[in-house]
């Protein structure tokens, strides 16, 4: 349902978006080195994670939303109306701007979940949201000015600033504002919201697998119907191309 909602919003009036071509949010698998967490932690070469996979995990993203006069931004307001975001507050995470900065940023980087969506529209600065993949690997998502990200309830994640130590964000909420953090533990693993999240992600993945199988069968049937004999050289080339596409 979350993905369908995102598609409906994209089809609405896009006034309030940067007129430049839309650029997907940047995400990659986190390289667990000893570098400070505020560095990118990319592999060499970088292991990019496509937006489609983030959607499979329940993460919704929009980019290049204009931040000036965001209160009257039609595109942003369409998202808020469609998803029922009825309360907002601005939070600046930076030394001298956030009380107990050191303690809170350390807490933010502790693996945790929430019982509600986490919605952040970035007004300025850069930060990283790390989310757990299905196999437990960390995926690092770069969030910067003009990006909007929605993390689903029950998803394990953590947050850190980049090396500039500054981020200003609009926090959005459905219903009563709540920012309670439940740190990862056997207790949170057993929380109902965690079980519901896993069920929804596995269901989504199952639907995608079924869709892929149907497409594969259709392609097989089409190939069989249009089969023409090939010499051995053509057959070898075709098999090599197929392997390259499916790695």
Annotated binding site for Fe(2+): 112, 114, 118, 157
Binding-site sequence positions: 112, 114, 118, 157
DSSP string, the chain: -HHHHHHHHHTS--TTB-SSPP-PPPEEE----SS-TTS----SS--B--HHHHHHTT-EEE--B--TTGGG-HHHHHHHHHHT--EEEEEEESTTTSTTHHHHHHHHTS-EE-SS-EEEEEEEEEEEEEEE-TTS-EEEEEEETT-EEEEPTT--EEEEE-TT--EEEEEEESSS-----EESSHHHHT-HHHHHHHHHHHHHHHHHHHHHHHHHHHHHHHHHHT-----HHHHHHHHHHHHHHH-
Binding residues for Ni(2+): 112, 114, 118, 157
């Amino acid at each position: 349902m979350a993905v369908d909602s995102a598609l409906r919003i994209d089809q609405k009036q896009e006034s309030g978006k940067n007129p430049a071509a839309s650029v997907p949010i940047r995400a990659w698998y986190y390289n667990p080195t000893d570098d400070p967490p505020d560095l990118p932690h990319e592999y060499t070469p970088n292991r990019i994670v496509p937006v489609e996979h983030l959607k499979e995990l329940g993460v919704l993203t929009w980019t290049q939303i204009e931040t000036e006069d965001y209160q009257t931004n039609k595109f942003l307001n369409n998202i808020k109306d469609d998803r029922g975001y009825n309360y907002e507050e601005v939070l600046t995470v930076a030394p001298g701007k956030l009380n107990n900065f050191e303690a809170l940023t350390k807490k933010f980087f502790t693996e945790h979940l929430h019982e509600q969506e986490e919605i952040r529209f970035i007004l300025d600065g850069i930060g990283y949201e790390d989310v757990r993949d299905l196999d437990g690997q960390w995926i690092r998502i770069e969030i910067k000015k003009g990006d909007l990200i929605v993390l689903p309830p029950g998803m394990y994640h953590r947050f850190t600033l980049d090396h500039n130590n500054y981020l200003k964000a609009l926090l959005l909420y459905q219903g009563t504002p709540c920012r309670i953090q439940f740190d990862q533990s056997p207790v949170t693993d057993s929380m109902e919201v965690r079980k519901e999240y896993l069920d929804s992600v596995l269901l989504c993945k199952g639907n995608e697998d079924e869709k892929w199988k149907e497409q594969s069968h259709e392609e097989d049937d089409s190939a069989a119907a249009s089969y023409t004999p090939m010499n051995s050289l053509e057959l070898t080339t075709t098999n090599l191309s197929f392997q390259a596409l499916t790695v």
